[in-house]
Amino acid sequence: MKPRLFLDTNIVFDFLGERVPFYDSIAKIATLADKGHITLVVSASSYSTVGYFLTKFENKEIAKEKLRKFKIISEICDLTEQIIEKGLNSDFSDFEDSLQYFSAISSDSNILITRNGKDFKGSNIPIMTAEEYLKSIKKK
């Protein structure tokens, strides 16, 4: 079974916003997904957040087109009432992080990719940066 990587909102924004110095590593991961080696999973809430921020830096149509193309290589995880309930009752200090975490768990993701690993202490799945993930698969 191929790995399922859940991408935190900041990672999706790094990729679609082509944010330096984070873009290159997530672009390599996106290429792995495009080639069918891994599955990328993204919360539905990340689409609205990233879409909003992209339009602050570029034309709305360009932002939507980037999201359309990204949707081709990623799977969207629904934000359900159960996920929101778990997030509201969790020990996470940041509600959005709790939603990302419980979305990753509910979508059977193997790894959560983020730049804010410290926000996911006590996770039941590995938490890695994009760079750490790429290094981990080079060792295999």
With beta carbons less than 8 A apart as the criterion, state whether 115 and 10 touch: yes
Task: Judge whether residue 7 has pLDDT over 70.
Answer: yes
Q: What is the pLDDT of residue 139?
A: 75
Task: Judge whether residue 42 has pLDDT over 70.
Answer: yes
| Arithmetic mean of pLDDT over the chain | 96
Taking the domains of the chain in order of start, what are their residue ranges? 4-138
Q: For residue range 62-90, list pLDDT tens digits in order.
A: 999 999 999 999 999 999 999 999 999 99
**How many other β-carbons are positioned within 10 Å of the β-carbon of residue 47?**
17
Average pLDDT of the residues in 3-24 = 97
Residues 6+ apart with CB under 8 A from 12: 42, 46, 50, 70
Report d(CA 10, CA 54) in Å as an integer: 12
Q: What share of the chain has pLDDT > 90, as a percent?
A: 96
* CATH topology for the 4-138 domain: Rossmann fold (3.40.50)
Q: What are phi and psi of 84, to 5 degrees?
A: -65, -40
Report d(CA 4, CA 6) in Å as an integer: 6
Residues in the chain, total: 140
Report d(CA 67, CA 1) in Å as an integer: 26
| pTM for this predicted structure | 0.95
Task: Judge whether residue 140 has pLDDT over 70.
Answer: no
